[in-house]
Amino acid sequence: MTVLELVYHLGCILKKTAAHRNQKRLPRRVLSIGNMTVGGTGKTPAAIALAKEVMRRGLKPCILTRGYMGKARGPCLVSMGQGPLLDAKLAGDEAVLMAEKLPGATVVKGGNRYESGMFALNQMEPEHRPDLFILDDGFQHWSLFRDKNILLIDSANPFGNRRLIPLGTLREPLQEMKRADVIVLTKRASGSSPQAQDALMSEIRRHNGHASLFVAEHRPVAFRTLHGESFPLNWAENRTFFGFCGIGNPQSFRQTFLSVDAKKELKGIISFRDHHRYTQRDIQTVTRNAARTGAEWIVTTEKDIMRLRGLDLPEQIVSLSIEFITDGKFYDEVLRGLYSNSADA
């Protein structure tokens, strides 16, 4: 560990110690979804999929999210189950995307997730109060007690260069995965050979021998226009595209798009920084490059679409919709033992 990594790590230890000393507990069960790296492991699709399964089983979930890059302060309702109440500028792109894709679920933004959870319980009528909470990006949010820790690991690029921030992408040393109750290897379809995946599983087991271990795909399911019209994946056949995105792992977006089972061509791609706040000039740059390459359509991610609203956009932009797909036993394991007291007033 270098000096820079050591300074970062010591800061994390102090923060974690203080958080545990003052840790609070919500009067509902809490499921945390998080990761150990900076960048995309697919937390948002996983949180959406878990919330959908919770509702399918007759419970009312509330997602607690910090709403990264959202300017709204303090606990605020992003959705009461009828779609977004705030835009991406105020709530953050991920919070708005969850609100759009989860009719029937509550989404609350706030840095202090305990305050956000109590805000949700106090603001809603008794019949609409959440039965359990899903803590989005919560593996390092030590100040809130959680009943189960779900850790996502990108099977194609699990730990980057294995360095801590600021020299790498690791938020914590690898041995801290011992806190996980459930571990999911995500993006299984995007790359690793069976041998590499077996080696990754063996390494995980050296650090955590008790967690239930699952694999998952982040599978493309449809293309969607700016007006909400949905096209099947084979719509892309014999069409040409130019891509752009502002996400933590732009290479993952390229690989996911190219994995779509259709005869198509990606003429080029522009990557912006993660959670980039788009301007009209950015759109002009994308459109100009797409025209230069002869691409018929421009494709981006669902998160990026959230940040494009309010801009003058060409009609030929589509987003690629992604779903978290895993074994049903994953949900059985995650929700086991959480029913009995979840809806107690």
| Residue 192 binned pLDDT confidence (cut-offs 50, 70, 90) | low
| pLDDT in the model for residue 344 | 43
Mean pLDDT of the chain: 92
Query: How large is the average pLDDT for residues 115-144?
Result: 95
In whole angstroms, give the CA distance from residue 186 to residue 37.
13
d(CA 227, CA 245): 19
DSSP state of 129: S
* pLDDT of amino acid 191: 53
Structure tokens given for 228: 């909400």
235 pLDDT above the threshold of 70: yes
Q: Which pLDDT score is estimated for 184?
A: 96
Residues 283-304 pLDDT 10s: 999 999 999 999 999 999 999 9
Q: For residues 234-240, give the mean pLDDT.
A: 94
Alpha-carbon span 269 to 24, nearest angstrom: 44
Average pLDDT over residues 177-182: 97
Q: According to the model, what pLDDT value does residue 339 have?
A: 66
What's the one-letter identity of residue 235?
Answer: W
**Above 60 in pLDDT, residue 127?**
yes
pLDDT at 343: 45
Q: Which residues, other chains included, contact 96 with Cβ-Cβ below 8 Å and sequence gap of 6+?
A: 78, 84, 86, 87, 88, 306
CB count, 10 Å around CB of 27? Answer: 10
Which H or E element spans position 319?
A: strand 317-326
Percent of the chain with pLDDT over 90: 81
Q: What CA–CA distance (Å, rounded) separates 252 from 274? A: 13
For residue 189, what pLDDT is reported?
55
Termini Cα distance of the chain: 48
| Structural contact between residues 180 and 211, judged by C-beta atoms closer than 8 angstroms | yes
| 50-71 average pLDDT score | 95
Do residues 143 and 19 make contact, with C-beta atoms less than 8 angstroms apart? Answer: yes
The pLDDT of residue 345: 37
